[in-house]
Amino acid sequence: MSTYPNLFTPITVGKMELPNRLLMGSMHTGLEDIAGLERLATYFAARAAEGCALMVTGGFSPNATGRLSDGAASFDHEFQVPGHRRVTDAVHHAGGRILLQIIHAGRYGYHADIVAPSALAAPINKQMPREMTEADIEETIEDFVRCAALAQDAGYDGVEIMGSEGYLLTQFIAARTNARDDGWGGNFENRIRLALEIVRRTRAFVDSAFVIMFRLSVLDLVENGSSPDEIVMLAQQLEAAGCDVLNSGIGWHEAPVPTIAQAVPRAAFTSYTKAIKGMVGIPLIASNRINTPDVAEKVLASGDADMVSMARPFLADPGFVAKARDGHAEEINTCIACNQACLDRYFVGRVSSCLVNPSACHETEFDFAPPALPSRIAIVGAGVAGLACAVTAAGRGHDVTLFEAADRIGGQFNLARRVPGKYEFDETLRYFRVQLEKTGVDVRLGQSATTSNLDDGNFDAVVLASGVAPRPADIDGIDGINGAQVLGYMEVLEGNAEIGRRVAIIGGGGIAFDVALYLLEGDDDSFTDTDAFRQSWGIGVAREEAQPRHEITMVQRTPGPMGRGLGKSTGWIHRAILKRNQVRQLSGVTYRRLAVDGLHIEVDGAPMTIAADTVIVCAGQEPRNELMAALAAAEMPVHTIGGALKAGELDAERAIREGVELGLKL
Ligand code: NAP
Ligand code: SF4
């Protein structure tokens, strides 16, 4: 019997029989916007080949005004059918089914001609939308139907109509954004009319076997959004209009509450899908922060939904379904909800990838074929760069020895995992541990690499992945001589140091934010427990303001706002938590000295003392590559990756990518 009996119980969606209850949910990766759609086809086919039975494309708009941005894809003309046919053929050939998502961005579009039910600008988009006329609305319904018809011609098994996250259909549904006084606004019946008309007319036009999924906002998380009763009524009317299945959307993009980031506990929102259970006869799909088969199984076993949707976990591991199905869940490369290489990349106009799996969405650029001649490779350092290189190279057939001076693998990840919300890093370390074993890497923990043991090992190549060391701050008294308590960020995150109430943090980068978060919410269960999370963000309950645990001042020399390097989709969450804890941030400072009464600085030429019991140095890092010169002198072929190569702006994404890329080159 399967470890996940509910997950692998077949289900019928419309007239479609599916062997499991996992949906690869829609996620815009940028591959949709590349002409020809060859890469999109390869990306989806790779997931279908590994047991993913049903997937949804990223959003395609039904007309030009509905586009997400200037360069974003629409599907509004027959000449686009052959490109889409490439995608559907590839997926069907690999044994999967695929739906096309139709999305109209409404006032969330980033281009000159955006429209909305009313001329009200979104808080996350400065541009004022044009109010749609009745003729525009009629035309838009026809455009949705045409898009669905084109999708059917292109071989899709159905469509998902995007009716959540604050896009056009939600903008009509919610009084927040719909101030119309004609037949498309005012009362609830009028506001949901557009969504229902689209479903009705699409149902009437397409074949009965063509699946219509609707992504319903089961929780808006904004003022003047839909009420729970309205959400149920809409679900029932969508079913009556011809929907085969309802997927769940959580929160509008303008909602001031995290919905998919690391700050959200796993499966935190499935109860909102459950609220519709029993009210409709069609299958319901739960979504958001479901990232392991265990979590998915629990959602289904508890009756919260009939299926579960996950999107990012399929970037992290295309083999998710097959591994869960075949009893190898421990081999799954788990999505850690960082958004760093997927959403944050897409937001800056790059094709998405995945921090833990750099080949995601770049399948055609990564060749995992065995080398012509296997060689003996030594890797120095079992941080994530060294680990990624070791398992990639060994997986291809090289004989790999991994030296690590510490008594455990993981390097800086062992510290980062202690930061609130980063506990998912444990999954990455579990994944690497299993892969080291599976690929037969000879792991030498507690063993520093030296030129002599590297020489004795008769290695063909040495990979230096020895990571970084914290950069000391050059401030008078920083070595503690003036009586102040000074700690490095590593000592703090290790968790054994006594920290005073008043804290000054030197530095305003990612680690300084992490350290502040750790001090303020380190043992807070709002990152892991759903009730505590709701309490913390005021979801359905009033937020209780608590006294901050520390009085924190962060300082940096560079002028301007701190945390500019934080991710676009997650930085605001860090900032919000620090703000509610009254963290003070001072930029453009000059350091003078550190003394027993605190940190003496100058701001705009004026002296200031930051009273602090503890000063924590988060001043960036420097490469640790002491072995480099000795190895060069010994004429050993050396490759350097990760922090040992370049510490400035090092992040885990680059470290893992460099590890994998070198593992493929060797
Ligand atoms: P960082 O982002 O480069 O920030 C280093 C900070 O130290 C800066 O604020 C800098 O400010 C200060 N600094 C540099 N040299 C200094 C010196 N000699 N004396 C005093 N202050 C000095 O480095 P990090 O915070 O260590 O982060 C390392 C990498 O990990 C970054 O790429 C970061 O983005 C990534 N990371 C990201 C996250 C996240 O996104 N949540 C979390 C952790 C780490 P001034 O030079 O202006 O004083
Ligand atoms: Fe998940 Fe991070 Fe990969 Fe995105 S980049 S898929 S959030 S692990």
Question: Could you tell which of 566, 603, 651 is best to mutate to test the pocket of ligand 1, judged by most ligand atoms within 8 Å of the CB?
Answer: 651
C-alpha distances (whole Å) from 652 to each of 135, 240, 557 are: 50, 48, 25
Range(s) within the chain of domains with CATH label 3.40.50.720? 376-469+628-665
Dist CA 272 CA 299 (whole Å): 12
Active site residue 489: no
Indicate if ligand 1 lies below 6 Å from the C-beta of 650.
yes
Yes or no: say if 56 and 25 are a contact pair by the CB < 8 Å rule: yes
Question: In this predicted structure, what is the pLDDT of residue 91?
Answer: 98
The whole-number pLDDT of residue 92 equals 98
**CB of 356 closer than 6 angstroms to any ligand 2 atom:** yes
Indicate which atom in ligand 2 lies nearest the CA of residue 355.
5
pLDDT at 481 over 80: no
pLDDT at 527: 92
Closest ligand 2 atom to Cα of 291: 1
Residue nearest to atom 26 of ligand 1 (CA): 620
Is the pLDDT at 458 greater than 90, yes or no? Answer: no
Ligand that lies nearest to the alpha carbon of residue 332, given by its number in the listed order = 2
DSSP letter at 69?
Answer: B
pLDDT grade for 220, boundaries at 50, 70 and 90: very high
Distance 618 CA to ligand 1 centre (A): 7
pLDDT mean over 391-414: 96
Residue 342 near ligand 2, beta carbon < 6 Å:
yes
421 in the Ramachandran plot: left (φ > 0), alpha (ψ -120 to 50) or beta?
A: left
Among residues 4, 43, 167, 431, the one annotated as catalytic is 167
> Measured in angstroms, how far is the CA atom of residue 598 from the centroid of ligand 1?
21
pLDDT of residue 482: 74
Comparing CA positions, the residue from 281, 285, 155, 284 lying closest to residue 207 is 155
- Residues 239 and 417: their CA atoms lie apart, in Å, by 44
- Distance (Å) from CA 471 to ligand 1 centroid: 10
Q: In the chain, pLDDT over 70 holds for what percent of residues?
A: 100
pLDDT at residue 374, as a whole number: 94
Going by pLDDT thresholds of 50, 70 and 90, the confidence category of residue 479 is confident
CATH of 472-619, one of 3.30.70.100, 3.20.20.70, 3.30.70.1400, 3.50.50.60: 3.50.50.60
CB 216 within 8 A of CB 247: yes
Closest ligand 2 atom to residue 340 Cα is 5
pLDDT band at 629 (very low <50, low <70, confident <90, very high): confident
Centre of ligand 2 to C-alpha 26, Å, is 14
Range 249-255 average pLDDT: 97
Name the residue with tokens 């599916």.
18
DSSP-assigned beta bridge partners for residue 661: none
* pLDDT band at residue 213 using 50, 70 and 90 as cut-offs: very high
Per-residue pLDDT reduced to its tens digit, 324-373 = 999 999 999 999 999 999 999 998 999 999 999 999 999 999 999 999 99
Order of strands across the sheet that contains 485-488: 485-488, 614-617, 502-506, 551-555, 584-586
Over residues 33-47, the mean pLDDT reads: 96
Predicted pLDDT at 546: 82
Mean pLDDT of the 194-219 span = 98
Q: Average pLDDT in the 149-175 region?
A: 98
Say if domain 376-469+628-665 classifies as CATH 3.90.10.10: no
Contacts of 135 by beta carbon, 8 Å cutoff, 6+ apart: none
662 lines ligand 2 (CB under 6 A): no
Answer whether residue 647 shows pLDDT above 90. Answer: no
- What is the distance in A from the centroid of ligand 2 to the CA of 261? 10
Instruction: Work out the pLDDT band at 69, boundaries 50, 70, 90.
Output: very high
The stretch 186-212 carries a mean pLDDT of: 98
Ligand 1 pocket test: pick from 384, 471, 474, 511 the residue with the most ligand atoms within 8 Å of its Cβ. 511
Q: What angle do CA 127, 131, 137 make, to 5 degrees?
A: 125
Ligand 2, atom 8, residue with closest C-alpha: 335
pLDDT for 129: 97
Closest ligand 2 atom to 315 CA = 6
pLDDT score at 541: 87
Q: Delimit the CATH 3.20.20.70 region(s) of the chain.
A: 11-362
Q: What does the pLDDT look like over 502-518, one tens digit per residue? A: 999 999 999 999 999 99
List where CATH 3.50.50.60 sits in the chain.
Answer: 472-619
CB distance 335 to ligand 2 below 6 Å = yes
Report how far ligand 2's centroid is from the alpha carbon of 281 (Å).
34
Q: Does residue 5 surpass a pLDDT of 90?
A: yes
What is the Å distance from ligand 1's center to 393 Cα? 31
Q: What is the mean pLDDT of residues 406-425?
A: 94
**Contact 282/243 with Cβ under 8 angstroms?**
yes
Mean pLDDT of 65-94: 96
Ligand nearest to the CA of 653: 2
Atom of ligand 1 at shortest distance to CA of 565?
Answer: 34
What is the pLDDT at residue 71?
87
Output the DSSP codes for 409-439.
S-TTHHHHTTSTTGGGHHHHHHHHHHHHHHH
- Between the CA of 41 and the centroid of ligand 2 the distance, in Å, is 20
| Whole-angstrom distance, CA of residue 528 vs CA of residue 337 | 13
Which atom of ligand 1 approaches the CA of 648 most closely? 3
Question: Average pLDDT in the 634-641 region?
Answer: 89
Q: Which fold has domain 11-362?
A: TIM Barrel (3.20.20)
CA torsion angle 496 498 503 504 (round to 10): -60
Write out pLDDT tens, residues 95-126: 999 999 999 999 999 999 999 999 999 999 98
Residues 219-237, mean pLDDT to the nearest whole number = 97
**Closest ligand (CA of 588):** 1
- Strand pairing class (54-60; 22-24): parallel
pLDDT at residue 3 is higher than 80 = yes
Angle between helices 228-241 and 193-205 (to 10 degrees): 20
Sign of the C-alpha dihedral, residues 373, 374, 375, 377? positive
Residue 311 Cβ contacting ligand 2 at under 6 Å: no
For 560, which DSSP code? Answer: S
pLDDT at 524: 81
Q: Which residue has the higher pLDDT, 273 or 547?
A: 273
Q: Residue 427 CA: which ligand is closest?
A: 2
Look at residue 452 in the predicted model and tell me its pLDDT: 84
pLDDT, average across residues 186-206 = 98
Whether the per-residue pLDDT at 547 is higher than 80: the answer is yes
567-611: pLDDT as tens digits: 989 999 999 999 999 999 999 999 999 998 999 999 988 999 999
C-beta of 619 in contact with ligand 2 (< 6 A): no
In the predicted structure, residue 171 carries a pLDDT above the cut 90: yes
